[in-house]
Amino acid sequence: MKKQRIKVKPKKPTRWWTKTRVLYQMSNEKKEATFEEFKSKYFNKAEYDKYVNELMESDFWKKLSSNRKYNRYHCDSGINPKAMRNLYAWIRKYKPNVLLETGIKHGFSTSIFLYALHSNKKGVLISVDSWRDSDRGLYVPKELTKRWIEIVCPTSLYLPLVDFNIDFFCHDSAHTVKDMTLEYEWALKHMKKGLITSHDVGTNNAFFDFVKKHNLKWYLVETAAPARFGLGVAEVGVDSSKTMLFNLFSFITTIYNLIKELLNNPQSLNKNK
Ligand SMILES: C[S@@+](CC[C@H](N)C(=O)[O-])C[C@H]1O[C@@H](n2cnc3c(N)ncnc32)[C@H](O)[C@@H]1O
């Protein structure tokens, strides 16, 4: 009798592109919800529009955008325009004192942060990059560098050596789980209240695992395709008692308005049926 062979299907390994696709779908589903949530949490509409328009109409932005278009091939790894506008608006409104970013390259994120500090007339930006060459910070306008401290060192060597508080953090250096996790953890330890932001959150699970571990509220404020270039934002030190009070107040106001509407216009109840 012929022996029956049992075929065991080998388990397919998860490839990085499958992971990216999954994260892309996830971020696409979440995109609008979390972006709108971020905007309404931090701004009223007029404020957001005011800061974004102020940026878009500036000569600084026009020059930066034309540099980006001109040097498109090299600039694709830089933080993208929508992410820049959102972070600019946040920095303008909340006026952080100490900002730390990792990864300078041509300096798109560096420029936008420095321009926001310049408009605020306060604050400093510390930028850490492992490398220094003629391309590094190429597009950072000279007149904005007064508020800039540049550190040339890999973040895994520099960060464990320093101990100061920051109000805003942006990761855009080496996108390995080890480096990303080390940077996020350092930022959290050195921040009382502010934002931990990260470019390319779709590269791996480091950002998602970090926010989950520390139970931080997070948003995807920009999800360009492919999603690994998306910008994630985690909030640190939100006063939960204030949030609870705010939610309670909103709930009471809604009920009050509903009752008022019903008392003034009892027919509205029938109309809706
Ligand atoms: C994606 S680019 C940064 C783009 C920049 N944020 C922008 O918006 O234009 C990545 C940068 O991270 C730097 N980098 C890579 N590994 C690093 C590390 N371990 N520590 C510090 N910087 C690192 C690279 O030298 C490169 O300049």
Among 2-11, 37-46, 91-100, 260-269, the minimum mean pLDDT is found in: 2-11
Atom of ligand 1 nearest to the CA of 128: 21
Burial of 141 (0-12, 13-18, 19+ CB in 10 A): middle
Q: What digits encode the pLDDT tens for the residues 81-135?
A: 888 999 999 999 999 999 999 999 989 999 999 999 999 999 999 999 998 888 8
Residue 247: band (very low, low, confident or very high) from pLDDT cuts 50, 70, 90:
low
CA distance 56 to 128: 27
Do 244 and 163 lie in one domain? The reply is no
Do 32 and 124 lie in one domain? The reply is yes
Atom of ligand 1 nearest to the CA of 179: 19
For ligand 1, the distance from its centroid to the CA atom of residue 11, given in whole angstroms, is 35
Do 228 and 253 lie in one domain? The reply is no
Return the bridge partners of 171, or none: 102, 198
* Position 72 in a domain: yes
* Position 105 in a domain: yes
CA distance 59 to 72: 19
As for ligand 1, residues whose beta carbon falls within 6 Å of it are 77-79, 102-109, 128-131, 154-156, 172-174, 179
* Position 7 in a domain: no
Is the per-residue pLDDT at 273 higher than 50?
Answer: no
CB atoms under 10 Å from CB of 119, counted, come to 17
Q: What digits encode the pLDDT tens for the residues 173-209?
A: 999 999 999 999 999 999 999 999 999 888 888 998 9
Beta strands 98-102; 231-236: pairing state: unpaired
For residues 113 and 125, the answer to whether their CB atoms sit within 8 Å is yes
For ligand 1, the distance from its centroid to the CA atom of residue 209, given in whole angstroms, is 22
Do 134 and 221 lie in one domain? The reply is yes
For ligand 1, the distance from its centroid to the CA atom of residue 258, given in whole angstroms, is 53
Ligand 1 pocket: which of 75, 105, 159 to mutate (most atoms <8 Å of CB)? 105
For ligand 1, the distance from its centroid to the CA atom of residue 129, given in whole angstroms, is 6
**pTM for the complete prediction?**
0.80
Q: Distances from the Cα of 153 to the Cαs of 104, 105, 128, 194, in angstroms?
A: 12, 13, 7, 25
Q: Which residue range is the domain that position 256 belongs to?
A: 240-273
Residue 66 falls in which region: left (phi positive, over 0), alpha (psi -120 to 50) or beta: alpha
Domain count, the chain: 2
* Position 80 in a domain: yes
CA distance 84 to 78: 10
Do 33 and 143 lie in one domain? The reply is yes
* Position 11 in a domain: no
Do 96 and 174 lie in one domain? The reply is yes
Q: Running DSSP on this structure, what letter comes out for residue 140?
A: S
For ligand 1, the distance from its centroid to the CA atom of residue 48, given in whole angstroms, is 29
